[in-house]
Amino acid sequence: MAEIGPPPLAGITVLEFAGLAPGPFAGMLLADAGASVIRVDRASPGRSLPAPDALTRRKASVAVDLKSPRGTSFVKELVSRGADVLIDPFRPGVLERLGLGPSVLLGINPRLVYARLTGFRRDGRYAAMAGHDINYLAVSGALSLLGRAADTPLPPTNMLADFAGGGATLFQGILLALLARHASGRGQVVEANMVDGSAYLATFPRLGLTSGLGARGRGRNLLDGGCPFYDTYETRDGRHYAVGALEPHFFRQLLDGMGLRGRGLEDRQLDVDEWPAMRALFERTFRQKTRAEWEAVFDGTDACAAPVLDYHELERDPAREGDQRPAVTLRGTPCLAIKQRPPGGHSDPVVHGRGAGVPGDGYHGEPLAPGDGGERALESWLGWKKGREYDVRDGAYVLTVSTKESSKL
């Protein structure tokens, strides 16, 4: 095996202001790629309860009183000492009112990538409103495409706006800004919002509304549950099977496996008037066998038919492809491993990721209490030691007098 290098973001330092879901997800993606991420938590004197955030792997925490000059000074000092990325998950104007807006922090550190994430557009009609994933999907147009024809639009839990349109899009913007900084030497403000991110993800189905692919309305088209050979079916044991046999040669193999060849279905595959009867036939047929029995039929074929697996079985069945891996394989500079290696076990660091993995193997999140790992992270980042460059008072990290004086030199 060729020699592999360090993770792609090794040496990049990130300040992530504590938030919910999409901001922490962007920070986790950076951490999995080797960045050193410190979460800035709100100081909670007298309390040691962990923050309600499970997207914490490989992160450390410092607790800061952001409403205090001592707290904002602490953040500014971290930025001035060379933080590469800052993640702002708050509503527009929150950090600006605290004196930690981009004009201030980029003035302190011109190389900083100041990454901001909102739900609605900052300049749109909903900018001042509260919202959640379902609301951002709604005004993006994407939600209008999701769900069965005879039902209301159905949100796909909070994956699409929060994580794909929000956190992952912000992560992409951060990487682009770091790449631009490599050429210019300067950081910049990165702005992502879940409305535009979701709308961008919906580019293909949106274009299909005028090209014919999605022109029949929600839940009536080829790829949105309207088509019987691109849908899921219940099996005899109450499990489910997914079918995606779009092309004629795949459709024929599906019919072979189901024992339905010779009924003329091949010639009527794209006849939408035949789809209701075809769906009813498929429903009856799939209920005749258990999911395992259908797997014995379809595994190894090109019928585009696969079992619908749940995470509980993926976690406990090593024969399934449930071992959590980095989202992308970089063969020269792989990201960090998620699944823990057993003692003495071996795995390909390129495919499975470098390092020993994390507790929970990607199935169980580790809570990160305010202040957890902060001392180690600050020593690693800056060589700081508690009692010398900073102290913790009433649960909040603050600079010492000597550090304040040295920063003025």
- Which residue from 172, 174, 197, 171 is spatially nearest to 187, judged by alpha carbons? 174
Average pLDDT, the chain: 93
Name residue 57's beta-bridge partners: none
Whether the pLDDT of residue 12 is over 90: the answer is: yes
d(CA 385, CA 81): 15
The answer to whether residues 57 and 366 touch, using CB atoms and an 8 Å cutoff, is: yes
Question: Using one digit for the tens of pLDDT, what is the confidence trace for 314-355?
Answer: 999 888 999 999 999 999 999 999 999 876 667 889 999 999
Report yes or no: 397 and 64 within 8 Å, Cβ to Cβ: yes
Banded pLDDT at 243 (limits 50, 70, 90): very high
| Backbone angle region of 231, left / alpha / beta, with phi > 0 → left and psi within -120 to 50 → alpha | beta
Burial class (CB in 10 A: 0-12, 13-18, 19+), 174: buried
**Using a CB cutoff of 8 Å and minimum separation of 24, what contacts does 269-273 make?**
269/229, 272/216
Q: What is the CATH number of domain 230-314?
A: 3.30.1540.10
Average pLDDT over residues 183-191: 97
Q: Indicate whether 407 pLDDT > 70.
A: no
d(CA 324, CA 371): 28
Report the alpha-carbon distance of residue 358 to residue 341 in Å, rounded: 9
Q: What percent of the chain has pLDDT over 70?
A: 95
Instruction: Assign 50 a pLDDT band (cuts: 50, 70, 90).
Output: very low
pLDDT greater than 90 at residue 226: yes
pLDDT score, position 409: 40
Q: Looking at residue 3, what is its pLDDT?
A: 83
pLDDT (0 to 100) of residue 48: 46
Dig out the tokens for 223 from the structure: 């790829």
- The fourth-level CATH superfamily of domain 13-203+358-399 is Crotonobetainyl-coa:carnitine coa-transferase; domain 1 (3.40.50.10540)
Distance in angstroms (rounded) separating the CA atoms of residues 57 and 355: 13
Where are the chain's structural domains?
Answer: 13-203+358-399, 230-314
Q: Which residues are catalytic?
A: 162
Residue 117, both tokens: 């994430």
Quote the CA–CA distance of 393 and 68 in Å, as a whole number.
Answer: 12
pLDDT digits (tens, 9 = 90+) for 61-96: 999 999 999 999 999 999 999 899 999 999 999 999
Which neighbouring-strand residues pair with 233?
A: 241
Query: What is the pTM (predicted TM-score) of this model?
Result: 0.93
CA distances to 102, 229, 364, 397, 399 from 107, in Å: 8, 58, 40, 23, 20
Paired sense of beta strands 13-17 and 36-42, if any: parallel
Strand (E) or helix (H) holding 277:
helix 275-286
What is the residue type of 34?
G
Q: By the 8 A CB rule, do 64 and 48 touch? A: no
